[in-house]
Amino acid sequence: MSPTASAPPAADPLPIKPAISEINKPFWDGCRAHKLMAQQCTHCQELRYPAAAVCPNCLSGAHEWRALSGRGELFSYIVIHRGYHPYWAQRVPYNVAFIELEEGLRMFSNIVGTPNEALRVGQKVKVAFEQRGADLVVPVFEVVDKS
Ligand SMILES: [Zn+2]
């Protein structure tokens, strides 16, 4: 048994961390700098998220990283009422939102700063960044059009 296997649960549970690799590290570094980054294929110009080793459109590995606008709209969402993980159990009910960015990419995130009851498909949103744990910064979104 490893020493960590018998460690008592943390008083303040940590969120599940993403697997950070050489391929997606620029995305997470961008989050720490409060920039929403995506790969852009330098062969066919296709933007892609999540990060991948090759372009899903033309299979080229050539790419560069580009800062996105951070603007988009709420494409869809759900509200979670059961805490399946200790970190999230303290935060129910919370939303999981599917955001369509103005560049056309879609990403899962959370809407913050608006009650779940006031969320509406099509609302305009903008990115914000939230610290989760000591060394993780994630993109979240705020509603900019509350009508
Ligand atoms: Zn391509």
Q: What is the pLDDT of residues 80-112, one digit of tens each?
A: 999 989 989 999 999 999 999 999 999 999 999
d(CA 126, CA 67): 14
How close is the Cα of 49 to the center of ligand 1, in Å? 13
How close is the Cα of 71 to the center of ligand 1, in Å? 23
The alpha-helical segments, DSSP class H, found in the chain are 25-32, 86-89
How close is the Cα of 105 to the center of ligand 1, in Å? 15
d(CA 129, CA 71): 13
How close is the Cα of 88 to the center of ligand 1, in Å? 37
What are the start and end residues of each CATH 2.40.50 domain in the chain? 69-147
Q: What is the mean pLDDT of residues 4-26?
A: 79
Tell me which residue of 108, 85, 84, 113 sits closest to 97, measured CA to CA: 108
Which pLDDT score is estimated for 133? 83
How close is the Cα of 23 to the center of ligand 1, in Å? 16
Q: Give the CA distances from residue 48 to residues 44, 53, 68, 88, 95, in Å, rounded to whole numbers and listed in that order.
A: 11, 10, 11, 28, 24
Specify burial of residue 74 (Cβ count, 10 A radius: 0-12, 13-18, 19+): buried
Strand 71-80 with 94-101, pairing: antiparallel
How close is the Cα of 117 to the center of ligand 1, in Å? 40
Whether 3 has a pLDDT exceeding 50, the answer reads no
How close is the Cα of 8 to the center of ligand 1, in Å? 48
Q: What is the mean pLDDT of residues 18-29?
A: 96
CATH number for the domain running over 69-147? 2.40.50
How close is the Cα of 135 to the center of ligand 1, in Å? 32
Q: Grade residue 13 by pLDDT with cuts at 50, 70 and 90.
A: confident
Which pLDDT score is estimated for 15? 86
Mean pLDDT across the chain, nearest whole number? 92
Q: What is the pLDDT of residues 24-62, one digit of tens each?
A: 999 999 999 999 999 999 999 999 999 999 999 999 999
Lowest mean pLDDT among 5-9, 96-100, 105-109, 125-129: 5-9
